[in-house]
Structure 1
Amino acid sequence: MTTMTKTRPKLTYLPATASTEVIHDVLQRDAAVIIEDVLSADQIATIREELAPYLTAADEGNNEFSGFQTRRMGALLARSPTCRELALDPTVNAMCEQFLGPHCDNYQLHFTQAISIGPGESAQPLHRDRGLWGGYIPRRIETQLSTIWAITEFTEENGATQLVPGSQTWDAQREPEPHEIVPAKMKPGSVLLYSGTVIHGGGANQTQQNRLGVLIHYALGWLRQEENQYLSCPPEIAKELKPELRDLIGYSQGGPILGFYSTPGEPGTGHELADPRMLFQ
């Protein structure tokens, strides 16, 4: 009796010089792709230095999804100048234009987080990120494009993100078989791009070292952001950012009227029904 060998899918690795057309083609096929050697050693070291105090002060998680040996921190754009550079990475933003552009007038920064998976952590339940909006958005509309930047090495043993390439086309109820799950192994300085519909989750850390990644997610401009950017990066901090980064956070109008504001205060002061960019003029 012949036993059929089940083939494990593979993730595609591309150089930092890859064209957006090539990256987009892989994303359309697999809903995930890794671009290697994007960050310099100096950038990696600086990010670790900027994040370390906050991660040390952060509590470990208290449930299966957040992890019990995992520390998380947000507000990266307010806390880490180098993470601001990551958020504006030209290749990533070009991909957002291509991947999300068909479904929105503009895209926005959705979520920032640094995640340090500690020794002994178990694997995170596999999931699709689009689930946070419930089942109200048709599957034909892709909700987001996400990035995980490897600050330390990502290995199968230390908790590399697990992915199911191609699962964006599956029926919503289908569960992956073990051989369909692939670890996103990465060298420090590489970045994983993946869609909101692909099945994924953090891996188990069976080593004695922490696995550190920086997550920056982008979403359609008409959706509620997962991280409240206006509290994580309020105007007094946002005024120091580049205008294009402020726009990305949401200090701009999405389409003709989404996101306008009026100045609270005495009658006749400030602005009425204004574009948020007026805050910084």
Structure 2
Amino acid sequence: MPALAHFSSKNNQREMLQALKHDGAIIVDDLMSAEQVSATVGELDPYVQATGNGQDDFSGRLTTRTDGLVSRSAQCREVIQHPLILDLCNTFLSPYCERVQLHLGQVIRIKPGQPTQPIHRDRWAWGTHLAHVEPQFNTIWALTDFTEENGATQVVPGSTIWPDDRAAEESEITQATMRAGSVLMYSGSVFHGGGENRSESDRWGLNITYTLGWLRQEENQYLSTPPELAKELSPELQELIGYAMGQYALGYYTPPGAPGSGPEVVPPQYALGRTDVANALGTPEDLAAISQVTNQEYS
């Protein structure tokens, strides 16, 4: 049976990225302290306990999925902006975009008796239309120990290059066993799925995923964290959840109002009361990137 590579936060990021590109997934051990895990669980527990089970076999009839983490949890806001994660994410997705954004934030609780989830690719959120790019950088933070018995995530190392209709053999599947506080990082192209929980306790995982700035997010962050809530966040987190141009001329809007009562074209940050973003259509770097592509196409 194949195994996933384990790293510590002190390992070289290039080595992490090489393993991630080769296998499609890696584990970084003990990235969150026991105190941070406890604080995160404490903030999320009321919401998790109030969340109903899934309504189909894919989402899990004995699995709960709790979203809206940006507005609900200060601890999760820190996790979402973890420097190592963002460094790796930006490097991993940089060949395909000028800016990354939060795709979703979700607590996945697998209860005892939950069967295995069907093996799948997360990039199928957009159908099978994105085989030519890598659209995602995903993480699952273990808020409990992930064991073979309690449903540690199933992963198929090396499956990123498979065709979509390729089925994994049992011998090709491993499980992302790890201690609480560790994190599984995986691409949108690797085949994976939730494991079977044969234990007598819940398995909690914090699923934080990122995507290309020009794609639609799986979780609608503008509704989960509307402007009246988002304006209280740091500018960096505001932009990460989507209050920013996706690239040049992608995502601007016109504020409603009487003729001449306001600017005609503004970036998303304007909805949060921010006027510090000079160019409504994007940065000079964004325009340079567009110009470079145009020059290549017509040279």
What TM-score, normalized by structure 2, do the two folds share?
0.89
Out of 243, 249, 264, the residue aligned to residue 257 of structure 1 is 249
Distance in 1, Cα, partners of 2:19 & 2:144: 25
Q: Does structure 1 retain, via aligned residues, the 8 Å contact 2:32–2:181?
A: yes
1:238 partner amino acid: A
Q: Secondary structure at the match of 1:54?
A: helix
Q: Secondary structure at the match of 1:26?
A: helix
State how 1:19-98 maps to structure 2 within 5 Å.
19-98=12-91
Q: Does structure 1 retain, via aligned residues, the 8 Å contact 2:214–2:247?
A: no
Distance in 2, Cα, partners of 1:88 & 1:13: 22
- What residue in structure 1 maps to residue 282 of structure 2? none
Q: Secondary structure at the match of 1:113?
A: strand
Q: Does structure 2 retain, via aligned residues, the 8 Å contact 1:155–1:185?
A: yes
Out of 205, 216, 221, the residue aligned to residue 213 of structure 1 is 205
Residues 162-184 of structure 1: CA deviation (Å, up to 9, x unaligned): 00000001222211110111010
Amino-acid identity (%): 48
Q: Secondary structure at the match of 2:246?
A: coil
Distance in 1, Cα, partners of 2:85 & 2:181: 14
- What residue in structure 1 maps to residue 124 of structure 2? 131
Consecutive unaligned residues in structure 1, runs of 5 or more: 1-7
Following superposition, the deviation at residue 210 of structure 1 comes to 0.4
Following superposition, the deviation at residue 266 of structure 1 comes to 3.3
Distance in 2, Cα, partners of 1:270 & 1:32: 48
1:171 counterpart = 2:166: no
2:176 partner amino acid: A
Residues 17-37 of structure 1: CA deviation (Å, up to 9, x unaligned): 122211111111101000011
Q: Secondary structure at the match of 1:130?
A: helix
Distance in 1, Cα, partners of 2:49 & 2:111: 12
- What residue in structure 2 maps to residue 157 of structure 1? 149
Out of 135, 142, 148, the residue aligned to residue 140 of structure 2 is 148
2:202 partner amino acid: N
1:189 counterpart = 2:185: no
Following superposition, the deviation at residue 41 of structure 1 comes to 1.3
Q: Does structure 2 retain, via aligned residues, the 8 Å contact 1:263–1:269?
A: no
- What residue in structure 2 maps to residue 273 of structure 1? 265
Q: 1:271 to 1:81 in 2, by over 3 A?
A: farther
1:226 counterpart = 2:218: yes
Out of 96, 101, 121, the residue aligned to residue 94 of structure 2 is 101
What TM-score, normalized by structure 1, do the two folds share?
0.95
Following superposition, the deviation at residue 132 of structure 1 comes to 1.5
Residues 115-141 of structure 1: CA deviation (Å, up to 9, x unaligned): 11111111100100111111222x231
Following superposition, the deviation at residue 271 of structure 1 comes to 3.4
Distance in 2, Cα, partners of 1:36 & 1:265: 52
1:22 partner amino acid: E
Following superposition, the deviation at residue 87 of structure 1 comes to 0.7
Pairwise CA RMSD of aligned residues? 1.1
2:179 partner amino acid: K
- What residue in structure 2 maps to residue 4 of structure 1? none
Out of 103, 114, 124, the residue aligned to residue 121 of structure 1 is 114
Consecutive unaligned residues in structure 2, runs of 5 or more: 275-299
Distance in 2, Cα, partners of 1:70 & 1:270: 48
Following superposition, the deviation at residue 275 of structure 1 comes to 1.2
2:253 partner amino acid: Y
Distance in 1, Cα, partners of 2:262 & 2:38: 43
1:163 partner amino acid: V
Distance in 1, Cα, partners of 2:264 & 2:49: 43
1:219 partner amino acid: T
Out of 187, 191, 194, the residue aligned to residue 199 of structure 1 is 191
Q: Does structure 2 retain, via aligned residues, the 8 Å contact 1:61–1:68?
A: yes
2:254 partner amino acid: S
Following superposition, the deviation at residue 188 of structure 1 comes to 0.5
